[in-house]
Amino acid sequence: MRKVLLPILAAICVFVIGVFILNMQLWYSSSMDALGGARYAAKNMDNILNEAFQATGTAKRIAEKKCDLESQYQLGTEAALRPHLRTLIIIRQGKLWCTSLPGNRILLKQIPEIPDTNLLLASAQNTVNEIPVLLYQTQTQTHTQTSRIIVTISGVHIRGALNVPLKGVTYSLRVGDKVLGLLADVTDFTASAQQSGQVNSAKYPFSIIFEQPPLFSLKRLVTNGLGILIFILLISVAVAYAIDKYLNKNDTPEETLRRAIDKGEIVPFYQPIVDGRDGTLRGVEVLARWKHPRAGYISPASFIPVAEKSGLIVPLTQSLMRQVAANMNSIASKLSSGFHVGINFSASHITSPTFVQECLRYRDSFSRNDLNLVIEVTEREPLHVDDDLVQRLNTLHENGFVIALDDFGTGYSGLSYLHDLHIDYIKIDQSFVGRVNDLPDSTRILDCVLDLARKLSLSIVAEGVETKAQLDYLNKNNIVFLQGYYFYKPVTFTEFILILLSKPKVEVFVE
């Protein structure tokens, strides 16, 4: 388990760290961009206010003289020639003294109660054209009076200065506790996440405020870092692969098999069992195959012995039982009543404490209850028959299971237990069937084996039928259930479905 988890965890760690670094890098550069944009907007505003400062110089000189047509003309010229200025106003003793507009008018609805600040944002309500303005105010002391010189700057120019072409960041001008953004009127400043960044002008009492980019943004990662994100993903997979390779380089066959079982690489193949008289499908034998990622399908001969020796045969067979039940349930409507589904069980599994429970659970996992679930017990291995074993298999028989004795005739344990155990049928080993050919003597051993089976009143399935001669012999001897390459090789589940849906092979009929 550790060997499976470790590469996955390592891959997740590499991916998370990679994404973290990429995110911080993108956050830093977008923060720098946002800051750069704010500085740019502040510089634009400084340039505009520089115009106001210079125009104030002209207004100061006028304030020292008198407000006549010539003075108004000079103020008007000053406002007209400076690209961003709207009007110049001189106020004396709280009253309008001189303006750049003809007739000494102003474009403000009323002269605001101006505090002694250098800058003031006046909202749209205070202007005749309902566009907010920025007021730049300077006090000047002439020989007799104090005058205030006010230069007004239209919100249109301010918004032009704030309109930095930077995707996703908007800038606003803050003067005191008032704010003017790209849209809407002047508002009160409230410290919020939306306005978390601020750049102050070094020359004038205003600042540019903006929203700091969020620390983490999925959208930013995907739009600005998709290529690197894919690269990080590939690196993570490569790390997992390398660690997996390293951890498994010294694996024992048991460890390799254990992982294969965990990964679901041990899959069932199905070898059809047919009725030799008409070729109809009567059942299947489940045969384990190792679906190796590189080596392809591996024969059970190379891993069943390892599984039996290490005890892995139990989880291996359990995994097959689950897969077989799921496979059969998915084609349940296509199976004939009494269809045989045989699974091979090793002796060590049959004698394990949970065997009967496992089989009952396996039976209950089938959606059809009229199938013949066959337990194939091999005689090839020593089977220690005692009361416990007899009781187990008989319990299963009573619970609807069919017990088949596999590889009949090759056994170690003699025939004594055939009296005690309830065996439903025997499977004649392919080594006996394989000897049968056209020569009359070739059937001698098989004759004896069949004779013995008949004397013991056992039903028979013949395995390893490869030739027409063998088929004819078995048909003549009334052996109905046959299995072998003459009919079908063991096949994948998908291939088995195709066989199930096709017509029986006509050439199996006896002449």
The contact set with Ca ion (CB under 5 A) reads 344, 376, 406-407, 463
Could you tell me the smallest distance in angstroms from the CB atom of residue 219 to ligand C2E? 52
CB atoms under 10 Å from CB of 410, counted, come to 15
Q: Applying CB under 6 A, does 466 fall inside the site for ligand C2E? A: yes
Q: Applying CB under 6 A, does 406 fall inside the site for ligand C2E? A: yes
Near ligand C2E in 410-449, by CB under 6 A: 430
**Distance between CA 85 and CA 153 in Å, rounded?**
5
Could you tell me the smallest distance in angstroms from the CB atom of residue 270 to Ca ion? 12
Nearer to Ca ion, 51 or 376 (CB): 376
What residues are paired with 428 via a beta bridge?
A: 408, 462
**Among 38, 180, 281, 320, interactor with ligand C2E by CB under 6 A:** 320
128: nearest Cα among 110, 146, 150, 147: 110
**Among 346, 403, 436, 460, interactor with ligand C2E by CB under 6 A:** 346
User: Which of Ca ion, ligand C2E, none does 464 bind, CB closer than 5 to 8 A by kind?
Assistant: ligand C2E
**Among 89, 153, 287, 482, interactor with ligand C2E by CB under 6 A:** 287
The DSSP call for residue 410 is S
Where do runs of H (alpha helix) occur along 64-185?
A: 69-81, 155-162
Nearer to Ca ion, 42 or 375 (CB): 375
Could you tell me the smallest distance in angstroms from the CB atom of residue 439 to Ca ion? 24
Furthest CA-CA distance within the chain = 146
Q: Applying CB under 6 A, does 78 fall inside the site for ligand C2E? A: no
Lay out the site mask for ligand C2E across 476-495 (x = CB under 6 A, - = otherwise).
Answer: -------xxx----x-----
Q: Applying CB under 6 A, does 344 fall inside the site for ligand C2E? A: yes
User: Which of ligand C2E, Ca ion, none does 51 bind, CB closer than 5 to 8 A by kind?
Assistant: none
User: Which of Ca ion, ligand C2E, none does 346 bind, CB closer than 5 to 8 A by kind?
Assistant: ligand C2E
Full 3-state SS string of 339-402: CEEEEEECHHHHCCCCHHHHHHHHHHCCCCCCCEEEEEEECCCCCCCCHHHHHHHHHHHHCCCE
440: Cβ–Cβ under 8 A, 6 or more apart, which residues? none
Nearer to ligand C2E, 299 or 391 (CB): 299
Q: Which stretch binds ligand C2E (CB under 6 A): 111-119, 160-168, 338-346, 447-455?
A: 338-346
| Sign for the pseudo-dihedral over CA of 276, 499, 484, 409 | negative
Determine contact, residues 211/197, Cβ cutoff 8 Å: yes
Nearer to Ca ion, 82 or 427 (CB): 427
Number of residues counted as binding ligand C2E (CB under 6 A) = 25
Nearer to ligand C2E, 173 or 465 (CB): 465
Could you tell me the smallest distance in angstroms from the CB atom of residue 506 to ligand C2E? 19
Nearer to ligand C2E, 52 or 426 (CB): 426
Q: Applying CB under 6 A, does 172 fall inside the site for ligand C2E? A: no
* Helix, strand, coil percent content, the chain, rounded in steps of 5: 45, 20, 30
**Distance between CA 326 and CA 341 in Å, rounded?**
13
**Among 147, 461, 464, 482, interactor with ligand C2E by CB under 6 A:** 464
Enter the tokens of residue 409. Answer: 């005739």
Could you tell me the smallest distance in angstroms from the CB atom of residue 237 to Ca ion? 40
Could you tell me the smallest distance in angstroms from the CB atom of residue 378 to ligand C2E? 5
What is the b/e burial string over 440-449, where b = at least 16 CB atoms within 10 angstroms of the residue's CB?
eebbeebeeb
User: Which of Ca ion, ligand C2E, none does 20 bind, CB closer than 5 to 8 A by kind?
Assistant: none
Could you tell me the smallest distance in angstroms from the CB atom of residue 13 to ligand C2E? 38
Q: Which stretch binds ligand C2E (CB under 6 A): 11-19, 76-84, 175-183, 341-349?
A: 341-349
Could you tell me the smallest distance in angstroms from the CB atom of residue 483 to Ca ion? 9
**Distance between CA 285 and CA 374 in Å, rounded?**
9
Q: Applying CB under 6 A, does 299 fall inside the site for ligand C2E? A: yes
Nearer to ligand C2E, 73 or 485 (CB): 485
306: nearest Cα among 262, 348, 342: 348
Near ligand C2E in 300-319, by CB under 6 A: 300-301, 304, 313, 317
436: nearest Cα among 479, 461, 406, 465: 465
Determine contact, residues 260/290, Cβ cutoff 8 Å: yes
Determine contact, residues 140/147, Cβ cutoff 8 Å: yes
Helix/strand/coil for 117: coil
Distance from the first to the final alpha carbon of the chain: 57
Could you tell me the smallest distance in angstroms from the CB atom of residue 269 to Ca ion? 12
Q: Applying CB under 6 A, does 51 fall inside the site for ligand C2E? A: no
| Sign for the pseudo-dihedral over CA of 59, 57, 154, 210 | negative
List of residues contacting ligand C2E (CB under 6 A): 271, 287-288, 299-301, 304, 313, 317, 320, 344-346, 378, 406-407, 430, 463-466, 483-485, 490
